[in-house]
Amino acid sequence: MDRKLLHTPEGVRDLYGRECSDRQKITSLINKKMKTYGFDCIDTPTFEFFDVFSKEISNNSARELYKFFDKDGQTMVLRPDFTPSVARCVSKYFMENDEPVRFCYNGKTFLNTHNLQGKLKENTEIGAELMNDGSIYADAEMIALLVESLTSTGLEDFQISIGDADYYNGICEEAGVDAETESEIREQMTNRNTFAAELVMAENNIPEKYINLIKSVSTCIGDASILDNAGSLVSNERSKKAINRLKELYKVLCSYGIEEFISFDLGMLSKFNYYTGVMFHAYTYGVGDAIAKGGRYDNLLGRFGKNAPAIGFMINLDDLMTALYRQKVKIKADKACNIIEFNDDNFDKCLSAAQELRAEGQRVVLKKRTD
Amino acid sequence: MKKDDRYLTFALGKGRLVNSTMELLEKCGIRCEEVTDKSTRKLIFTNEELKLKFFLAKGPDVPTYVELGAADIGIVGKDTIMEENRSVYEVLDLGFGKCRMCVCGPESARDLLNHHEMIRVASKYPNIARDYFYNRKNQTVDIIKLNGSVELGPIVNLSDVIVDIVETGSTLKENGLTVLEEICPLSARVIVNQVSMQMESARIRSLIEDMKGNL
C-alpha cells in the first residue's frame, strides 16, 4: 500500500456520507428558491482563457489563480469565480436580447491561496446573476433572493450589509483627489485603517474637512437611519445620488418584508475592480468572513462586447455549512435504510420486495446473509 | 445563539504589549487581573459582567485568530500585521509599544544599500524585508529567515544586513551595528474581525471609542 496516496493535497478535501448529503440538501433548497424567482441553470467550463478573469482582479489575486498551458501554449485558468464566465456567456448568446436574463449556478471554484492559513483552495459556490436590468427593483430582487435562500436553509441569525462605493467615490471627486492617491486611500480604507488613510491624505494636502469626511465613511455602519445622516454630510451629486438610491432600495426591501435582515455599511469598498454600484455581504456567526457576497457590475458585460447592466451574488457553500453546523441548525437527514437479507434460495422473493419498496421511494439495501 | 449572551473575545499578543493594554482597558472600566498574573496556567480569562473573554497568543498568531473569527478583537504590533498580511480591519493606533522597523548592519554595509547589487538580508520578517527591497528599493536580495537573535547575522557573516525592530538601539550598539535605513514606524494596533465588525457593530465601536478616549 502506498501511504502517500491516502491523503489529499492541502486545501482540498473529501466529502462523503452525512456531510456530503447535507451539502446536497442545502444546495437543492437554495436552487429551488432560485427557481421560484424564475432563474434558469447555467454551467460554464471549469477552465477558460486567462484573459476572461485577469482584468477584473487585482495583480495580487492574479498570482492566486491556478494557471496552466494548453497544447497551443495559451494560458488557461481554473475559474476563481463564476461571474466573469457567466458574463461572457450571456454576452455571447444573448447579444441581441435586451430582456432581463436570470441565471443561477453551483459549482467549484479554485484559488491557490497560502498554505497553513485554514483556507480551502477549492470552494463550492452557489450563485445567481440577473443581467439586462439596471433598476432598483433588480437590486432588491437579488437581495431578497439572497435572504430567502439563506432562510430556506434554516439559518436565522444573519445580516445583509449593503454599501455603495459611489458615496465614497463622490467625496473623493469633490475633494479633488487624483486617481493614484485615491487608490492609496482605498487600500487603507478597505481595511478600515483610518489613521493610515489620514496620513496619506495629509501628505497629499487634502483639506481637513474632506479628511474627516472620508474618515467618517468607514464608521458609517448601522440601520437605515444612518443614510439620512450620511446624506446630510455631503454636497456632491454623486454621493447624494448613491444615498438616494440606497434609500429607494430600502423602501423596496421593506415591501419584501425583509428589513430585519438589512443594515448599511458605506465603508464597504471592494478590492474587486468590477463592482460599479450597490454591493452587499451576508454575515453570520461561526465563520470569520462573509458567507455571501454580491453587487452590481454594470461594466463587466461591456468587456465581452455587450453593454448591459448586471447584478449578482454568490454564496460560499463551505462557509455556509460551517455556520450551519456551528449554530446547530438542523438539516433534514435522509430516511434510514431498510436492510433486506437474502440467501441463494430466496433471492427472487427478496428482490421483488426490495423493488416494491424502492418504487415507493424508500431506501433499500440488499444484503447477502452469511451463516 | 442569542445576541445578548454572546461573548466578545480579545486576542492579546504575548509580551511587552500586554501590560499597557490591560492598563488601557482598566481605564475603560474593563478589569481582568488574571491576564497579567504570571503564575496562572489558565489559557482563557473571562469577565462575566461585561461578557468579555481574553486570551494570550504568540504575536504572529493574533491576526490569524482574528481573521478566522476565533477572536473578535486583537491587539498586536504593526510589525506582525504587516508581516502576516491577513484580511482584518485595523481600526486604532494605540500609540504605545512604539518602535521602528529598520535595516541594520555594520557601518561598512551602508554602501551596499546604495547600489542594486545582490546582498544577503537576515530577518524574522521575510515578507516586510521582501516588500521593502523589491518594491520600494528595487534591489535584488537574498532573504534568510531567522527566528530570533537576528543581530547575529552580520556578526557571524551569515548576512550583510538585517531587517528588524529597533526600540532604543542599545542591542545594536553593543554589537557594533547601527541603523542604516528606516522602513517604517511601528506601534500597537487594534484589529477587528470583519464579521464581528458587522454583527456586533455597536458594541465594538463603543469599545474602540472608549479606548481612543483613554489613550
| Chain B contact probe: residue of A191, A219, A266 with most B CBs at under 10 A | A191
Contact check, Cβ <8 Å, B194/A289: yes
Per-residue b or e along B87-124, where b marks 16 or more CB atoms closer than 10 Å to that residue's CB = ebbbbbbbeebebbbbbbbeeebeebbeeeeebbbbbb
Residues in chain B within 8 Å Cβ distance of A219: 205
| pLDDT on residue A370 | 82
DSSP for chain B reads --GGGPPEEEEEESSTHHHHHHHHHHHTT---GGGG-TT---SEEEETTTTEEEEEE-GGGHHHHHHTTS-SEEEEEHHHHHHH--S-EEEEE---S-EEEEEEE-GGGGGGGGS---EEEEES-HHHHHIIIIIIS---EEEEE-SS-TTHHHHTTS-SEEEEEESSSHHHHHTT-EEEEEEEEE-EEEEE-HHHHHHTHHHHHHHHHHHHHT-
For residues B121 and B144, is the Cβ–Cβ distance under 8 A?
Answer: yes
pLDDT along chain B (215 residues), means of 10: 74 90 92 84 90 94 94 95 91 93 94 89 95 90 94 94 94 94 94 93 91 91
For chain B positions 43-102, those within 8 Å of chain A (CB to CB) are: 64, 66-70, 86-93
Which residue out of A119, A162, A219, A264 would a mutagenesis test of the B interface target, given it has the greatest number of B Cβ atoms within 10 Å? A219
Each residue's pLDDT, cut to its tens digit, for chain A (371 residues) gives 677 788 888 999 999 999 999 999 999 999 999 999 999 999 999 999 998 987 666 555 778 899 999 999 999 999 999 999 999 999 999 988 899 999 999 999 999 988 777 789 999 999 999 999 999 999 999 999 999 999 999 999 999 999 998 899 899 999 988 888 888 888 888 888 888 888 889 999 999 999 999 988 888 888 999 999 999 999 999 999 999 999 999 999 999 999 999 999 998 887 656 678 899 999 999 998 999 999 999 988 998 999 999 999 999 999 999 999 999 999 998 889 999 999 999 999 999 999 999 999 999 999 998 87
User: How confident is the model at residue B1, as a pLDDT?
Assistant: 42
Quote the pLDDT of residue A115.
76
Give the rounded distance of the alpha carbon of A98 from its chain centre: 25
A31-42 residue pLDDT tens: 999 999 999 999
For B31, the grid coordinates are 478589569
The answer to whether B78 touches B186, Cβ cutoff 8 Å, is: yes
- Cα separation, A28 vs B61, in Å, equals 38
Sorted by where each begins, the domain ranges of chain A are: 7-157+285-326, 338-368
Alpha helices for chain A (secondary structure H): 17-36, 50-54, 59-62, 83-93, 136-152, 165-175, 179-190, 194-203, 208-217, 225-233, 237-256, 300-303, 317-326, 347-359
Nearest CB to A191: which of B90, B193, B205?
B90
Helix (H, G, I), strand (E, B) or coil at A100: coil
- Render pLDDT for A285-324 as a digit per residue (tens, 0 to 9): 999 899 999 999 998 899 899 999 999 999 999 999 999 9
Residue A128: which H helix or E strand, with range? strand A122-131
| Cell 441569525, located at residue | A157
Strand order, beta sheet including A292-296: A40-41, A101-110, A122-131, A310-316, A292-296, A278-284, A158-164, A262-265, A221-222
Q: To the nearest whole angstrom, how far is the Cα of B88 from the nearest Cα of chain A?
A: 6
pLDDT tens-digit map of B2-53: 455 789 999 999 888 899 999 999 999 998 888 888 888 888 999 999 999 9
Contacts of A43 (CB under 8 A, 6+ apart): A105, A107
Contact assessment for residue A103 and residue A39, using Cβ atoms and an 8 Å cutoff:
yes
Share of chain B above pLDDT 70, in %: 98
Handedness of CA B2, A22, A127, A136 (dihedral sign): negative
Q: Which residue has the cell 557601518?
A: B107
Of A320, A324, A283, give the one whose Cα is nearest residue A159.
A283
Contact B62, B75 (CB under 8 A): yes
Task: Give CA separation, A311 vs A142, A241, A297, B78, in Å.
Answer: 8, 18, 6, 37
Give pLDDT, residue B2. 46
B201 contact residues in A (CB cutoff 8 A): 221-222, 263
pLDDT at B159: 95
Q: Across the interface, which of A284, A288, A327 has its CB nearest the CB of B67?
A: A288
Cα of B192 to nearest chain A Cα, Å: 9
Q: Which fold has domain A7-157+285-326?
A: BirA Bifunctional Protein; domain 2 (3.30.930)
Sort out which chain A residues have CB atoms less than 8 A from B89's CB and list them.
191-193
CA distance A338 to A358: 10
The CA-to-CA distance between both ends of chain B, in Å, stands at 34
Residue B181: φ, ψ to 5°: -145, 145
Tell me what pLDDT residue B59 has: 93
What is chain A's alpha carbon radius of gyration, rounded to the nearest angstrom? 25
User: Is the distance from CB of A249 to CB of A162 less than 8 angstroms?
Assistant: yes
The ipTM estimated for the assembled molecules is 0.83
pLDDT value at position A60?
Answer: 57
With left for phi above 0 and alpha for psi between -120 and 50, is residue A197 left, alpha or beta? alpha
Strand partners of residue B13: B57
CA triple B124-B189-B35, angle to 5 deg = 90
pTM of structure: 0.90
